[in-house]
């Protein structure tokens, strides 16, 4: 009884940010139970134990046409316990059965929200028992498999890492949920003025998260992190039935400086106007030739083609006779090879917090494995120099460079970019690129060139649509669909077209970059590992920024989309009459 009351008063005093490590019940419970875990020497000896806890307090709301669809608050503490038995050289991970566990689950997928030391330890105790049993079983099965198959390459299973101590007690700013509910409601009402838009949702999520990590190497991390984003997503339909989509997402890491109302309104208006224009635009024709990726679209294509391929994949050990369809990175095995024009460099730098006065979304101090990241030169003078690395050894890697940003498979984490800077030594003014495009078309006798100003990345499509797009690529690499595509005629006139898809575009296409602008566009997004970073597809996200110039790329292929189009509805849309006396009139 007394214990329960104590927990209650702690909570009401808002105990998320305690000033000292010993006063943080969660951190104390993690450390104490981790210390006890070393006594697990029953069958195999654990050589490494890691406890990570993602603590979250998130509010969100969604609205359409001035009416609230939902409004939620969720609080959680999700533990991730890893036990490694064996040694850094050979352990229970990197095996197809690493994550498999058939034993008793103890209802410890979530930890208590209250700062109750005893309850937290009880949960961690049972979670460790499960992880240990799973590790022992996987290790014995892996060794059995290795008796009959030989691993593709002999790599160690885990890179050691120096201990890191980062205990940040800075409290996160409060989020006014009522204010943001009202704001998304108001923003969503802007679409009442656009009758061609037949569906629209505006939603926000504000997350006050704290990442905890302790491991048996001595690392201790408490890292508060705020993220907020507002998404604006909408669809319209062309007279022939083609469905058109556009979306815009505004992000911030600083909860005290949320996206500003005028920027949000501008973004919503732009989405509505894009969709209205697209509904009336003609369908494009197949095209092969130079394409100018302007501003946002250039950053998006770098995020997709480079960002997602700057990792090296490792195949897990498998019992004989089994195969696993793992798609290797397109840059696998190409270290030292030229992948961009020699006047281009690419650097990934999570240590930078802002760029030309603008906050960078991809900044972090310690990655998911407790490693402090450093800036990494990935491409120098067009040549691939390095990959984004985690503590999972891959060919050529000696240590992690602190890019473990998403959960991965078989005991590893997945790497992702942070702040990716794409630099061109021979940049020209943006207008100059347009002139070069016209010039190229003239020389090659083409009636027009193509400008792409926006890609559907991260995608706002449905899963069904994503499956169709991946199917159309026939299992090969695919890039997201372009949203804003323009024909540029020799006289400088531009014409918006719709229904276009890229074909045969992959990381090799970047070798055909003919020129770049001398300015740069900053593009923030949330990587979740899903195809086209599909919005809402992953439980975990890594915040990323790409800073890149506009680029002119030769030999790009565009086709008309092949998907079946639904006929327009028999019933015309209902009138967009605002609710009298409702929030719109306030």
Partner 1 sequence: MTGRLCLLACLLGAPWAWADGQGLLAILAEELDRNFRILREKGDPAPYFLSYQVTERRGVSLTASLGALKGIEEQHGRWLDVTVRVGSPKLDNYRRMPGEQVQFTSALPLPIEDQPAAIRQRVWRETDRTYRMAVERFIKIRTQREVKVAAEDESDDFSLEEPVVHVEPVGRAAFEVDSWTGRVRRWSAELGRQSGVLTSQVSWGAQQETRYLVTTEGTRICHGRGYARLSLRARAKAADGMDLVLEENFNASDASRLPGDEAVRQTIARLTRDLAALLRAPPADPFAGPAILSGRAAAVFFHEIFGHRIEGHRQKDESEGQTFARSVGTKILPEFLSIIFDPTRRQFQGQDLNGYYLFDDEGVKARPVTVVENGILKTFLMSRSPVRGFTRSNGHGRRAPGFEVVSRQSNMLVESAQRVPEKRLREMLIEEIRRQGKPYGLYFREVVGGLTTTARAGVQAFKVIPVLVYRVWPDGRPDELVRGADIVGTPLASFARILATSDSYEVFNGYCGAESGSLPVAAVAPALLVSEIEIQKQQKSLDRPPFLPQPTEEQR
CA pair distance 319, 485, nearest whole angstrom: 48
Interacting residues of 91 by C-beta distance below 8 A, sequence separation 6+: 47, 48, 84, 85, 135, 139, 157, 158, 411
Q: Which is nearer to partner 1, 80 or 385 (CB)?
A: 80
Q: How far is the CB of 474 from partner 1 (least distance, A)?
A: 27
Cis amide bond preceding 500, omega within 30: no
Options 148-156, 422-430, 523-531, 573-581: segment touching partner 1 (CB under 8 A): 573-581
CA pair distance 420, 418, nearest whole angstrom: 6
Residues 377 and 363: beta-carbon distance below 8 Å: no
| Residue of the chain from 57, 91, 129, 456 that contacts partner 1 (CB under 8 A) | 129
Options 35-43, 259-267, 344-352, 424-432: segment touching partner 1 (CB under 8 A): 35-43
Options 125-133, 154-162, 420-428, 471-479: segment touching partner 1 (CB under 8 A): 125-133
Name which of residues 131 to 150 contact partner 1 (CB under 8 A): 132-133
Name which of residues 203 to 222 contact partner 1 (CB under 8 A): none
Of 290, 252, 301, 250, nearest to 422 by C-alpha is: 301
Residues 224 and 172: beta-carbon distance below 8 Å: yes
CA pair distance 458, 308, nearest whole angstrom: 12
Q: How far is the CB of 565 from partner 1 (least distance, A)?
A: 13
Of 520, 524, 513, 522, nearest to 549 by C-alpha is: 520
Q: Which is nearer to partner 1, 7 or 552 (CB)?
A: 7
Q: How far is the CB of 584 from partner 1 (least distance, A)?
A: 8
Q: Which is nearer to partner 1, 118 or 337 (CB)?
A: 118
14 is an interface residue for partner 1 by CB under 8 A: no
Interacting residues of 264 by C-beta distance below 8 A, sequence separation 6+: 183, 187, 230, 232, 250
Residues 88 and 157: beta-carbon distance below 8 Å: yes
Options 39-47, 247-255, 311-319, 405-413: segment touching partner 1 (CB under 8 A): 39-47
Of 132, 135, 49, nearest to 97 by C-alpha is: 135
**Any idea what DSSP says for residue 303?**
I
241 is an interface residue for partner 1 by CB under 8 A: no
Options 5-13, 257-265, 276-284, 470-478: segment touching partner 1 (CB under 8 A): 5-13
Q: How far is the CB of 190 from partner 1 (least distance, A)?
A: 13
Q: How far is the CB of 227 from partner 1 (least distance, A)?
A: 21
Q: How far is the CB of 322 from partner 1 (least distance, A)?
A: 24
Q: Which is nearer to partner 1, 198 or 279 (CB)?
A: 198
Q: Counting beta carbons within 10 angstroms of the beta carbon of residue 335, is it exposed (0 to 12), middle (13 to 18) or buried (19 or more)?
A: middle
28 is an interface residue for partner 1 by CB under 8 A: yes
Q: Which is nearer to partner 1, 8 or 283 (CB)?
A: 8
100 is an interface residue for partner 1 by CB under 8 A: no
Q: Which is nearer to partner 1, 198 or 249 (CB)?
A: 198
Options 4-12, 47-55, 245-253, 283-291: segment touching partner 1 (CB under 8 A): 4-12
Q: Which is nearer to partner 1, 89 or 104 (CB)?
A: 104
DSSP three-state, residue 61: strand
Question: Which ranges constitute the DSSP H helices of 392-506?
Answer: 430-443, 463-472
Options 120-128, 274-282, 295-303, 377-385: segment touching partner 1 (CB under 8 A): 120-128
| Residue of the chain from 23, 45, 118, 286 that contacts partner 1 (CB under 8 A) | 118
Q: How far is the CB of 16 from partner 1 (least distance, A)?
A: 14
DSSP, residue by residue, 142-196: HHHHHHHS--SS---S-------EEE--PPPPP--HHHHHHHHHHHHHGGGG-TT
| Residue of the chain from 15, 17, 119, 537 that contacts partner 1 (CB under 8 A) | 119
CB 584: neighbour CB atoms within 10 A? Answer: 15
Residues 196 and 276: beta-carbon distance below 8 Å: yes
Interacting residues of 209 by C-beta distance below 8 A, sequence separation 6+: 54, 55, 56, 57, 58, 224, 225, 226, 227
233 is an interface residue for partner 1 by CB under 8 A: no
CA pair distance 73, 58, nearest whole angstrom: 6
Q: How many chain residues bind partner 1 (CB under 8 A)?
A: 70
32 is an interface residue for partner 1 by CB under 8 A: yes
| Residue of the chain from 474, 574, 585, 586 that contacts partner 1 (CB under 8 A) | 574
Q: How far is the CB of 53 from partner 1 (least distance, A)?
A: 13
CA pair distance 451, 436, nearest whole angstrom: 12
Q: Which is nearer to partner 1, 185 or 487 (CB)?
A: 185
Q: Which is nearer to partner 1, 271 or 317 (CB)?
A: 271
| Residue of the chain from 81, 111, 481, 516 that contacts partner 1 (CB under 8 A) | 111
Question: Which ranges constitute the DSSP H helices of 343-404?
Answer: none
Give rounded-to-5 percent helix, strand, coil for the chain: 25, 30, 45
Both tokens assigned to 12: 């009401």
Write the interaction track for partner 1 spanning residues 46-85; mark x where CB under 8 A is met and - where it is not.
Answer: -----------------xxxxxxxxxxxxxx---------
Options 38-46, 275-283, 467-475, 539-547: segment touching partner 1 (CB under 8 A): 38-46
23 is an interface residue for partner 1 by CB under 8 A: no
CA pair distance 83, 91, nearest whole angstrom: 10
Radius of gyration of the chain (CA): 26
Q: How far is the CB of 236 from partner 1 (least distance, A)?
A: 12
Q: How far is the CB of 395 from partner 1 (least distance, A)?
A: 37
Q: How far is the CB of 556 from partner 1 (least distance, A)?
A: 35
The crossing angle, in degrees rounded to 10, of helices 117-148 and 25-37 is 40
Interacting residues toward partner 1 by CB under 8 A:
1, 3-4, 7-8, 11, 28, 32-33, 36-37, 39-40, 42, 63-76, 103-104, 106-108, 110-114, 116-123, 125-126, 128-129, 132-133, 188, 192, 198-199, 566, 569-579, 582-583
């Amino acid at each position: 009884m007394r214990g329960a009351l104590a927990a209650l008063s702690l909570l009401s005093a808002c105990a998320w940010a305690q000033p000292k490590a010993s006063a943080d019940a969660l951190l104390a419970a993690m450390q104490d139970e981790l210390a006890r875990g070393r006594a697990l020497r029953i069958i195999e000896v654990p050589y490494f134990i890691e406890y990570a806890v993602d603590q979250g307090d998130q509010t969100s709301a969604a609205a359409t046409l001035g009416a609230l669809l939902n409004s939620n608050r969720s609080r959680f503490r999700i533990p991730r316990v890893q036990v490694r038995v064996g040694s850094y050289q050979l352990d229970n991970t990197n095996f197809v059965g690493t994550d498999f566990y058939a034993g008793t689950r103890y209802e410890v997928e979530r930890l208590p929200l209250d700062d109750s030391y005893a309850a937290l330890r009880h949960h961690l105790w049972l979670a460790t028992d499960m992880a240990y049993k799973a590790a022992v079983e996987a290790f014995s099965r892996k060794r059995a498999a290795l008796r009959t198959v030989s691993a593709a390459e002999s790599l160690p299973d885990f890179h050691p890492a120096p201990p890191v101590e980062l205990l940040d007690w800075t409290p996160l700013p409060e989020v006014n949920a009522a204010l943001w509910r009202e704001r998304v409601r108001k923003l969503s009402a802007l679409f009442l003025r656009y009758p061609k838009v037949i569906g629209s949702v505006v939603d926000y999520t504000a997350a006050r998260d704290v990442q905890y990590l302790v491991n048996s190497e001595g690392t201790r991390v408490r890292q508060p992190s705020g993220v907020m984003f507002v998404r604006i997503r909408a669809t319209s339909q062309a007279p022939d039935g083609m469905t058109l989509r556009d979306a815009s997402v505004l992000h911030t890491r600083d909860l005290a400086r949320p996206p500003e109302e005028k920027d949000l309104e501008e973004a919503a208006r732009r989405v509505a106007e894009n969709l209205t224009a697209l509904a009336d635009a003609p369908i494009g024709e197949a095209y092969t030739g130079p394409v100018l990726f302007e501003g946002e679209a250039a950053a998006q294509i770098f995020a997709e083609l480079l960002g997602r391929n700057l990792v090296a994949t490792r195949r897990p050990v498998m019992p004989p006779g089994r195969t696993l369809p793992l798609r290797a990175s397109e840059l696998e095995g190409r270290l030292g090879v030229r992948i961009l024009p020699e006047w281009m460099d690419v650097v990934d730098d999570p240590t930078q917090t802002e760029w030309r006065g603008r906050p960078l979304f991809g900044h972090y101090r310690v990655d998911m494995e407790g490693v402090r990241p450093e800036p990494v030169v990935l491409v120098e003078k067009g040549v691939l120099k390095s990959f984004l690395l985690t503590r999972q050894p891959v060919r050529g890697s000696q240590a992690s460079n602190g890019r473990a940003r998403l959960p991965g498979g078989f005991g590893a984490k997945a790497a992702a970019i942070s702040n990716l800077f794409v630099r061109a030594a021979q940049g020209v003014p943006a207008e100059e690129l347009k002139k070069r495009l016209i010039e190229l078309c003239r020389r090659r006798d083409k009636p027009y060139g193509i400008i792409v100003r926006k890609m559907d990345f991260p995608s706002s499509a449905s899963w069904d649509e994503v499956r169709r797009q991946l199917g159309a690529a026939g299992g090969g690499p695919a890039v997201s669909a372009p949203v804003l595509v323009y024909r540029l005629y020799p006289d400088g006139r531009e014409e918006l077209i719709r229904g276009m898809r890229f074909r045969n575009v992959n990381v090799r296409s970047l070798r055909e970059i003919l020129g770049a602008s001398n300015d740069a566009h900053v593009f923030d997004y949330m990587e979740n590992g899903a195809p086209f970073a599909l919005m809402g597809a992953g439980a975990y996200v890594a915040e990323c920024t790409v800073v890149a110039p506009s680029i002119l790329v030769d030999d790009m292929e565009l086709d008309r989309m092949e998907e079946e189009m639904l006929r327009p509805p028999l019933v015309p849309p209902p009138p967009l009459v605002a609710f009298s006396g409702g929030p719109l009139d306030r």
